[in-house]
Amino acid sequence: MSRWTNWAGTATADPQRVHTPRGVDEIADVVTTVATGGRRVRPRGSGHSFTPIALAETDAIDLDGWAGIAAVDAGKYQVTVRSGTTLRRLNAELHALGLGMSNLGDIDAQTIAGAVSTGTHGTGARLGGLATQIVQLELVLADGSVVTCSADQRPELFSAARVGLGALGVITQVTLQCEPSFVLSAQERPEPLEQVFDGFHEFAQENDHFEFYWFPYGSNALVKRNNRTDAERAPLSRAKQFVDYEIMENVAFGTLCRIGRTVPRLVPTLGRFASAALSAREYRDHSHRVFVTHRAVRFVESEFAVPRESVHHVLTELRALVPRLENPVAFPVEVRVAASDDIWLSTAHGRDSAYIAIHQFVGMPYLEYFREFAAIAAEVGGRPHWGKMHNLDAPALRKLYPRFDDFVRVRDDVDPTGVFSNPYLERVLGR
């Protein structure tokens, strides 16, 4: 047995077997053997989901040895990537090819298959999550067959499997629509919270990538505006990068969090201090270097996608909630946006969305906070991120996703006995 724990320490598993296939045939062999033996198997990525979605009971598939870009279509700016490739490696290999991803999330530790399977997203009012950049998927299904799907080939499987929760098969290769590499101009600065709330829709529309962080007890938000530019790169110096990101956002912030965990009554004061200490910076760099941040301070997280027009309601309620909580909140709230898409279980399915993410420092109480936030999000039809903490089950989720039953039907077709299921999928999909 080999113990597995996710990044946040919120899920552990002791699968009896961890398979490490190095090719599509080997992946198919593993699936066939497991299915024939009446067991269940989970492919796992980097363990960066907060939910136990990747948890394997008897058999796990680890795809560390199945990584890298396998093929390039330079004319179309498309690449085919082996599913165990981390975003960090993908970005480096794309960069060497003169290509880049149109949008990315906060970090690059996830695997490409793990990231798309839970609906991982970045921010941008005119851009979708990572799964919207997929043009073709190759999967091993429960019967060991290898299939490809795209908008033209098995389109229903494609609509389901782009955000497939690891419930439909093992993704072996992902073909991505990329673009010529580009430079982003990054502007980060503290702004009064009221001003950010008031200007939210305008800021979201007028910037390629707009987001903000808000310390619940502070009066400022840290606003990030990233826009494409033809200007030359002007990256942060190594020293400034080290001080701003490593020292301020990781070392100093981690110290404040640890003090707050030891003496909780200090948390509001520390939060106001952190909010007041926010500083501005501007630079221009390769897109992936602007999108991605190093997160060394561990936390737990819940995130809901809400209709974009509901964002003020949710933020106002959340602001009123925090002072009422029995335990203080040590971590900021993060607010982002994404465009509507047509992927069946994408959190942005059929509607332009705002993403509101709440966090708590590891080891501090969070249950009441997350439960009350979920109740606020429910008032506006909020959909939980599949990889972040929530308590919704299949009956509740069915009401939130118009194509939920289509997803279940496709799953019944490709995995009738639940070879790829686990307790989390039983809760969110009903079996």
Count, residues near ligand FAD per rule CB under 6 A: 32
Span from 166-174, 214-222, 264-272, 361-369 in contact with ligand FAD (CB under 6 A): 166-174
CB of 355 to ligand FAD, least distance (A): 8
C-alpha 201, offset from chain centre: 22
Tell me: does residue 42 bind ligand FAD (CB under 6 A).
yes
The answer for 427, left when phi > 0, alpha when psi is -120 to 50, beta otherwise, is: alpha
Among 30, 34, 40, 49, binds ligand FAD (CB under 6 A): 49
Residues 225/187, Cβ–Cβ less than 8 Å: yes
The answer for 124, left when phi > 0, alpha when psi is -120 to 50, beta otherwise, is: left
Does residue 91 sit in helix, strand or coil? helix
CB of 89 to ligand FAD, least distance (A): 12
Tell me: does residue 339 bind ligand FAD (CB under 6 A).
no
Helices (H), 207-242: 238-241
- DSSP annotation string for 312-377: HHHHHHHHHHGGGSSS---S-EEEEEE--B--TT-TTBTS-EEEEEEEEETTS--HHHHHHHHHHH
Tell me: does residue 335 bind ligand FAD (CB under 6 A).
no
Tell me: does residue 7 bind ligand FAD (CB under 6 A).
yes
Site for ligand FAD in 106-145 (CB under 6 A): 106-107, 110-111, 113-115, 117-118, 120-121
Tell me: does residue 184 bind ligand FAD (CB under 6 A).
no
CB of 31 to ligand FAD, least distance (A): 11
Instruction: Name the residue nearer to ligand FAD (CB basis): 122 or 268.
Output: 122
**Alpha carbons 149 and 413: distance in angstroms, whole number:** 15
Among 4, 28, 46, 176, binds ligand FAD (CB under 6 A): 46
Tell me: does residue 348 bind ligand FAD (CB under 6 A).
no
CB of 232 to ligand FAD, least distance (A): 28
Sheet of strand 333-338: strand arrangement: 281-286, 183-192, 220-229, 209-214, 333-338, 353-361, 299-307, 383-384
Instruction: Name the residue nearer to ligand FAD (CB basis): 121 or 403.
Output: 121
Does residue 35 sit in helix, strand or coil? helix
**Alpha carbons 343 and 409: distance in angstroms, whole number:** 15
Among 15, 52, 105, 332, binds ligand FAD (CB under 6 A): 105
* Angle made by CA atoms 211, 317, 209, in degrees to the nearest 5: 10
Site for ligand FAD in 268-297 (CB under 6 A): 295
Tell me: does residue 225 bind ligand FAD (CB under 6 A).
no
Residues that bind ligand FAD (CB under 6 A): 7, 42-49, 53-54, 63, 83, 105-107, 110-111, 113-115, 117-118, 120-121, 165-166, 170-171, 295, 385, 387
